[in-house]
Structure 1
Amino acid sequence: MAPLVWFKSGGPADWLFEPRDADDLADFLRDLDHAIPVMALGLGSNLIVRDGGFPGVVVRLGKAFATVEAIDATMLRCGGGASGILVSSTARDAGVAGLEFLRSIPGTVGGFVRMNGGAYGSEVKDILVEAEVVLRTGERRMLALTDLDYSYRHSGLPEGAVVIGATFRGRPGEPQAIQAEMDRISASREASQPLRSKTGGSTFKNPDGHKAWQLVDAAGCRGLTVGGAQVSEKHTNFLINTGTGTSADIEALGEEVRRRVKAKSGIDLQWEIQRVGVAK
């Protein structure tokens, strides 16, 4: 799995399945032994796959699901494999504002919907109309915003469900103004985040009333290392694989950061990065 995730670490999955289309995915899941775990994979940006690998099927949505189309003056229909860059750029060209923040999230629509992805003051729950999923049974279903029970970086998406599409609603806007906002977001990310490193994005959720990076910094963790894993010097809520790091190194570093923050501030940081699989 290492080549498929941003950290470039982790062991193998038992199976990797790239469905031809939604019907192919539905047929596959319906016929698959229901005791076998299933995990959907987007760009692999907010994910640690442990070194022993994933004991089940990884479903990777390919080009057939990387589609975005404007359906009226304020709404876009997006495939579950479409990137945030593709969604925000298509919205700009269609004159739909309010989706610019998706450009800053390194993932796909399926991951955004599952995790209530957000940045720069906006979240998926602010723009989602409905999502289409294939359940573990192979049933296709449309879920409205209220069905997903959203909270901060969490949804009530059923276990094993794969998001194959979503409809987002923005507001009318001028393409030039939308582009200017996307440029502002891109410049802010470039200045503050280690974008060219092997990283997994934001590591910990922001506790109520606090910024995770400030808590990590105050606990003296900037630059802290475990094996080949390091807390970013540039943004302390990012962990980095310096080149030789294993998933065990990265996870152990995250747990050491959590321990130090708890000792310093009394706050229990919660992982935002998803950790899956088995230890080696």
Structure 2
Amino acid sequence: MEDRRALATLPPLRGRVQQDAPLAPFTWFRVGGPAEWLVRPADVDDLLLLLRDLPESVPLSIIGAASNLIIRDGGVRGVVVRLGGKAFGEVSVDGDGIIAGAAALDAVVAEHAAATGLAGLEFLCGIPGAIGGAVAMNAGAYGSEVKDVLDWAEVATPAGVIRMAAQDFAFAYRKAVLPARGVVTRARFHARPGDAAAISTRMAEIRAAREATQPVRARTGGSTFKNPPGAKAWALVDAAGCRGLVRGGAQVSEKHTNFLLNLGGATAADIEGLGEEMRARVLATSGVSLEWEIKRIGEVTP
């Protein structure tokens, strides 16, 4: 009740505010409970107002394309922020680079670069997410990572918007450091002039490789575990006998063992529990403790 009273004191936001809002439809897994409060800011100023006046006692979560996310069945306490494409999805060419809003899909950014003959961002077409999340987790695929191409990103904080250079994020493998309650709002990526045909060919190769090796048409959440140093997570999972393993309505993909699937009736607990069973089996067979790449938020139901 204390959090609800605190939220009632906030100034009215121009964006959409919903109480007990379903979150499962936003996620690729299509599972999970509701947000206590779901806020979709109208623009950066609206987001800044929320961040400034939100009491520190109220939990804050940020979701984007939710392609690499498990919302637990008990839902998410406090405020969940989702940036919409209308206000935060603009993509524009900026000389030898691209400026993209946090809600712009990674693949769309790659396509904009390709359309203007800019090379170096092709790998983004193989990452199923949005730019804000890509920066926040240093997303990568096919030999490149966000840290390799990011010039700067603007981050909304309770004190205002700050522009952070790539080195300010202390990037590591699938990790970035953001200010407390910081929300990426847009970013600039550098590229280089390239041959349009060669760029298109490379993007087609990446898409074909994803189609051939990953369950891209299933209810999944992308790569489940980070690759340990000197090893591949999928190979460790496979060696532990987890290919096709089922728990409730969740299954380890037969096509790529570092992917979890919702077969249609899974709960978030099924999916997360299956992931933990995979971790336990890998630890028992190889001595390696796999680290989750999928982000998990919310409350576990009793």
Query: Into which bin does the TM-score normalised by the smaller protein fall?
Result: over 0.9
| Alignment deviations for residues 184-203 of structure 1 (CA, whole Å, 9 cap, x no partner) | 00000000000111100000
Residues 1:39 and 2:75 are matched in the alignment: no
**Highest RCO, 1 vs 2 (Cα 8 Å, sep ≥ 6):** 1
Match of 1:113 among 124, 135, 150: 135
- For the residues of structure 2 that align with 1:64 and 1:97, how far apart are their CA atoms? 27
Residues 1:276 and 2:297 are matched in the alignment: yes
- For the residues of structure 1 that align with 2:160 and 2:62, how far apart are their CA atoms? 16
1:93 deviates by 1.1
Cross-structure match for 2:214: 193
Which amino acid in structure 1 is aligned with residue 51 of structure 2?
L
Match of 1:221 among 220, 231, 242: 242
Identity %: 56
Q: Which consecutive aligned stretches of 4+ in structure 1 deviate over 6 angstroms post-superposition?
A: none
| Alignment deviations for residues 216-246 of structure 1 (CA, whole Å, 9 cap, x no partner) | 0000000001111100000000000111110
Correspondence list, 1:17-96, <5 A: 17-62=39-84, 63-72=86-95, 74-96=96-118
8 Å contact kept, 1:14–1:56: yes
8 Å contact kept, 2:51–2:181: no
8 Å contact kept, 1:27–1:138: no
8 Å contact kept, 1:96–1:170: yes
| Alignment deviations for residues 197-216 of structure 1 (CA, whole Å, 9 cap, x no partner) | 11000000000110100000
Secondary structure, counterpart of 1:48 in structure 2 = strand
- For the residues of structure 2 that align with 1:69 and 1:133, how far apart are their CA atoms? 18
TM-score, structure 1 as length reference: 0.98
How many equivalent residue pairs?
278
Cross-structure match for 1:139: 160
| Alignment deviations for residues 122-175 of structure 1 (CA, whole Å, 9 cap, x no partner) | 00000000000111x151111111110000000111232110000001111122
Secondary structure, counterpart of 2:280 in structure 1 = helix
Residues 1:184 and 2:205 are matched in the alignment: yes
- For the residues of structure 2 that align with 1:56 and 1:187, how far apart are their CA atoms? 41
Q: Would the alpha carbon gap of residues 167 and 76 (structure 1) be closer, same or farther in structure 2, given more than 3 Å must change?
A: same
TM-score, structure 2 as length reference: 0.91
Secondary structure, counterpart of 2:206 in structure 1 = helix
Larger radius of gyration: 2
1:248 deviates by 0.5
Q: Which runs of 5+ in 1 are unaligned?
A: none
1:22 deviates by 0.6
Match of 2:230 among 194, 204, 209: 209
1:28 deviates by 1.6
